Structure formats: C-alpha cells, structure tokens
Chains A and B, each alone.
Chain A
C-alpha cells in the first residue's frame, strides 16, 4: 500500500525544538541575521544575547550609534552584563571586533557596508578558536558563504495592535528562513512572535512541511 505522507507528532516536536534552537547562539559559531532594515532583526539579535548575559558580560557592537539597551533589557538581557560598543569607523571595525572576540562570551555585531571578505573569514575563525557565540547583522550585502554556521533571513514582518489611530503596537510576527550547516543543510521557514517582552514564541504551524514518500 502506498502512503503519500506520514504525519507523526514526535517529529513535529523535534522540529519545534530545532526551531527554538535556531534562536540560541552557539559557542564558536556565527549566526547571520540577514534581511532588510525594519524587519525586526536588531531586536532578534539582542534577544540572542539574553541567555549568555546570565553568566557573563555580552556585547552589542553598534555601527550606527542607535542601538537601544532598553529594547535589549525587554528581551531578557541582564542590564549589568550588557555593554554597548559603538564603532562608526568601518576601517577599524575588524580590529575592534577581533579585540572583543578575544575575551567576551557572546557578541551581536552589526557588520558595516564594505566589510572585507578576508576580514570576515578571519573573524569567524577567531570566534571558533575562542568559542565565542556570535550573531552578525550585515548592513550591506550578505556574509560570504562559509562564514556563518546558521543563516536566519527575515522574509517578512507583520505588526498587530495598531489600527488607524487606535491601540498601539503590541505583537510582531516575523517570518524567518533558516539555512546553512546549522539547519542541517535544509532550508526551513518558521515564524516567531514577539510581544515586546522576553517572551518570543516559535509558531511552528507555518512551517512548510516536506511531503515524504514511504512504502508500507
């Protein structure tokens, strides 16, 4: 008897855990946050620092001087352990990033436009060698292939709560696409809900399930 597809709860649970895992930084790995400005990736990047900030100082490397620690605190980053490093000079950005990778446990770094591929590869190697968990947010084009272990690309964002003058912004839904080695080479889409606090939920029902054929 041929079966078109198999639906089992357990694999779905695994899938959900995997997506939750996409929202955790891993020591020695670079996670790329790719997407156009305005899609919520700054907040997501700061949120990735929340867990490591519970045990050690974490750094947000800000190339525009606009990152707000208040948003980071809302996502659960420990205030005393958050340091904001402002670097608006692209020519010294690689040196500053390397200096930080030598000592901090976790880093969210905006990557300035025009950052050299060679520098990015060296920084990724340094992050591996020093076991630093890194999230990189390119301001220009994407990171060169092989730099990021996991690539999270924002596909779209929708806001709830505001209605032609009434209410206020309450909930953001961000559709992400995970790819790269960190996603086992399989491109997956999932959605996260952000209610402005440290609660970020993975909504797995938007996952595009792959129909697998089997014989039984």
Chain B
C-alpha cells in the first residue's frame, strides 16, 4: 500500500479526497470520525471544515507507476488493484530473498529510497495468506515496519467487520451482522457457515470465507490465446485522447468476446509496445469480475501513466489486453446481462433457501455414468459446485442413450410389470394396468460384482400413458425414469 500525496492540496488545511466514497483524508479529518470508504455525504457532515478534492485515478495511477516499477524490479508478476494498492504473489521470491521477513524488509528499503524522490509518499507492507489478509496486514502496520503475518486466521479474527466493506459488497450486511451482535471477523467465522448461507446467500458465504482466511475462490482455467485482443497503430498514439479511445475500444472488444463464451476476467494483462523502447506490461486485478467500465478505466489509467511518465517513447504502436484469470464467478457474471439481475436472483434464491433449508436449492453438474441417477452431481446453491468424480466426457459404454428421462427418482422405485413369454406386456400405473405398446431393450448393465452390485437389464417401455425407463434385476422390475 502506498500513500499517494496530492500536490494540489493546500499544505496546512485539512483535506478530504472523495469520489462517491472517501478515498483519502488528512489526520485531522480522520480524527473527526471520518473513515476510508465512508460515503461522501457522511464524511462531509462529520468534517465540514475540510477542503474537499475530487479523486483523479488517472493522475494517481501516473504517480503510482514508479512505485510499481520498484516492486517489479524486486518481484515479478505485480498485480495492480487500484492506484496505491498492489498485490504480489511471493512464493518464488521468498526462496530467492531468503524468507518472507527479508523480502518484506527489502521491499520497504527500496521504497524508502523512492520516498526521497517522490514527495509525500510512504509505503505500508503486509505479508499474509491471500490478498484480503495481506491488504489488512499492510493497512494495520506502521510506516517502515512490514507486517508479516504467520497466523492469518488469528490475525483476521481480531479485525473489525468494517474490513469487509469493500469485499462483501456494502454496509447493509455489516450493519445486520452488528445488529446480531457480531463485531469482529473472528466472531463471524465462528458462526455456522450453513446458517449464514441460508440467511444471507452468496454475500454471507463470501464474508464467512474471508473471515475464515479462505480468500475469494478463483478457479483458474486454461485461457485460450484467442481470448486476448490487440490492436496495432501505424501512426503511434501519442495524445491522451487517442489513447483513451483505443483503451475503451479494446476493453469493450475483450469483454464482448469473453461474454460470448460465458466468462469474465478477474485479472488482465495490459501490454503496450512503444515506437522507440521496450514493451511495457502490467497486470491489473479485481476482486469482482471486470465490468466494461471498470476495465476501460484501468486500461486508461495505465496507459495514461505510461504516456505521461514517458514510459512509451515515440508513442504506442501496439496494444494488447489478455485475460489472466477466468473464475466460476466470472463465468456466472459473464452470462448475465446486468448486475441487478444477478443480485435480485441471488436474493430470491437465498429467500427460498431460508424457507426450504440449504438442501432445497440445488445446482447440478454433468458427470459420467450409465444410469440417469448417476449422471448429475448435485451441490447446494451458493456453495462451490462439487468436483465431478466421474469424467462426463469419457465414453461410458453401455450408458442409457439420450433423450434423458425428464423425471428421475433419486432411487429406483419398484414397478409392477407383467411379462408374456419374457416380453413386457403390461405395466401397473397406480391402480390400472397399461398395455405396453412397444419397447426397446433389454440393454445389459453389468454391475461391479466386487462391490456387491448385481447385473440388470434396462428397457424403454412405451404405453399410452407415457414412456418409462425400467430396470429389471433378479426378476424384479424398477422404475428408473419417466420420459415426461
């Protein structure tokens, strides 16, 4: 974390920097009760004496760029979150520098040197398991003293609920937790997760995960290279207007392509080639999947920082944006046409879950199997989909052919079938016997004899009251599905 000064701020007056929420404040403003992330109106009411300046993320990004370069020289794969905040995965670097403490000290030392050149800045460095804990490790330490957390869960347990404000989507959830008597992440983590999911749905689940030291679930998947978008410019882009236009167009193209495939990125890599100089690359990260506006803003901030700091001498000749992480959450969001729809759906499903219990609201994932009962892996809505333990793409010889029965009892149901010389003749449905008009099968199903399973034969029986999938084992018939 880097404290970005504001050169245009009056030197001795209290200052409040805002967009729609508080982004920065001087000590005297903070002493008046203003907190970072607080709504602007509330902050202005608490500190009417402060000079209010509007935030300029593009300018902040430009001023933050030298800081990122210093960190990049020490550790590769720096991920920008916003001007002033970066995350760096340090697994490899720890071995190189001889430990987390040594690495953190080195980062602080190098950044201290920069302070001599950059007026007003100071660094806060935290090391912990996962971005959420690392961010708060940095936020709760002092300048020049890196905070290396060895017990992440223990560290998080002592934090106030307000730390969830940005990650768990707002104040309402936090206010409800407080009303219920929960004030720290530790108290929240001790609550049963199922109860939280039932009551609060996905935001509750996310809050509980963060409080328990399980950072946001990201499911990295192989990203086809064609998802990346790029643009070449015969006339190098040198003015900010040209760069802004190119940034927006490219960001829109990237997300449009991803949306067609039902995915959205959590991380993107932005690469710019200069007419005279080395290519520049920077990774930006977001806790939520990037929306078009969020991505356009970040691409613009980054390019502006490079252009204004002379990082792309001669202008930009080629731009490339590549997604770096596509998560399940991203996938879900990508399919939705608007954020409101997703939130409303989640609320509705959470209410249904509260009425029916967690096992009443389910999602399925395809998995391999020969019987319809085996071919769906169920998981509770709001929880990660269960890993498929049988490969759905494998051939599964002997599988019941499509179409699948629309109704599949969880367990085989006894079915009365009358046979005429070994051929199905009548089926008992309720109180009446329906003649079998035609049938297909039998298809042999060889059970795993070593696991106590027995062989069975499957039939598709067609009657005037519908078609049924029937299993016959040891002379007894069972209903396995209804082609309703």
Contact = CB atoms under 8 A, between A and B. Distances in A.
Interface of A: 36-43, 46, 54-57, 59, 64-71, 73-74, 78-87, 92, 95-96, 99-105, 157, 159, 161-169, 172, 194-197
B356 A163 contact: no
Contact of B410 (A65, A159, A162): A65
Contact of B467 (A74, A83, A96, A159): A159
Nearest to A73: B366
Contacts of B440: 161-163, 165-169
Contacts of A168: 401, 440, 460
A67 B407 contact: yes
Nearest to A92: B355
Interface string B334-369: 011100011011111101100110011111111000
B205 to A, nearest CB: 15
A165 B439 contact: yes
Contact of B336 (A56, A59, A74, A86): A56
B262 A68 contact: no
B332 A80 contact: yes
A157 B406 CA distance: 15
Nearest to B381: A83
Nearest to A37: B484
B363 A103 contact: no
By CB atoms of chain A within 10 A, which of B332, B366, B404 has the most? B404
B355 A83 contact: no
B466 interface: yes
Given A57-B345, A169-B460, A197-B402, A43 B363 contact: no
By CB atoms of chain B within 10 A, which of A43, A99, A157 has the most? A99
B467 A84 contact: no
By CB atoms of chain A within 10 A, which of B410, B462, B465 has the most? B462
B466 A68 contact: no
A194 B403 contact: yes
B483 interface: yes
Nearest to A156: B464
A162 B376 contact: no
B404 A59 contact: no
Contact of B402 (A86, A157, A196): A196
Interface in B91-136: none
B468 to A, nearest CB: 8
B405 A71 contact: yes
Contacts of B336: 55-57
Nearest to A157: B466
B360 A87 contact: yes
A37 B483 CA distance: 10
B56 to A, nearest CB: 36
A188 B428 CA distance: 34
A70 B372 contact: yes
Given A70-B376, A81-B335, A96 B352 contact: yes
Interface of B: 262, 328, 331-332, 335-337, 341-342, 344-349, 351-352, 355-356, 359-366, 372, 375-376, 381, 401-410, 423, 438-442, 460, 462-463, 465-467, 481-484
Given A54-B335, A163-B440, A168-B401, A59 B349 contact: yes
B348 A96 contact: no
B335 A55 contact: yes
* Dominant secondary structure at the B interface: mixed
Contacts of A99: 348, 351-352, 355
A69 B420 CA distance: 35
A118 B358 CA distance: 29
Given A74-B403, A162-B460, A37 B348 contact: no
A157 B347 CA distance: 39
B337 A55 contact: yes
B283 to A, nearest CB: 26
Nearest to A163: B438
A197 B401 CA distance: 12
A42 B404 CA distance: 12
Nearest to B460: A169
A201 B216 CA distance: 44
Contacts of A78: 262, 335
A38 B348 contact: no
Contact of A95 (B355, B366, B381, B405): B355
B409 A66 contact: yes
What 6 A-B pairs come out closest when comparing CB atoms?
A: A38-B466, A103-B348, A196-B403, A69-B364, A162-B440, A99-B351
Contacts of B352: 85, 96, 99-100
Given A74-B402, A161-B440, A162-B460, A56 B410 contact: no
5 contacts: A40-B466, A74-B402, A79-B364, A87-B356, A101-B348
Contacts of A159: 438, 462, 467, 483
B375 A70 contact: yes
B245 to A, nearest CB: 29
Contact of A84 (B346, B355, B362, B462): B362
B482 A37 contact: yes
A194 B482 CA distance: 15
Contact of B404 (A41, A70, A103): A70
B344 A103 contact: yes
Nearest to B484: A42
Contact of B337 (A40, A56, A163): A56
By CB atoms of chain A within 10 A, which of B345, B423, B462, B465 has the most? B345
Given A68-B404, A164-B438, A168-B440, 11 more contacts: A39-B484, A42-B406, A65-B410, A70-B364, A71-B403, A73-B366, A81-B332, A83-B349, A100-B352, A165-B439, A196-B404
Contacts of A67: 406-408
Contacts of B337: 55-56
B471 to A, nearest CB: 15
Given A161-B440, A168-B460, A38 B365 contact: no
By CB atoms of chain A within 10 A, which of B346, B440, B466 has the most? B440
Given A38-B465, A57-B345, A74-B403, A80 B482 contact: no
A103 B423 contact: no
Contacts of A43: 403, 406, 483-484
B366 A79 contact: yes
Given A80-B331, A172-B483, A42 B407 contact: yes
Contacts of B356: 85-87, 92, 96
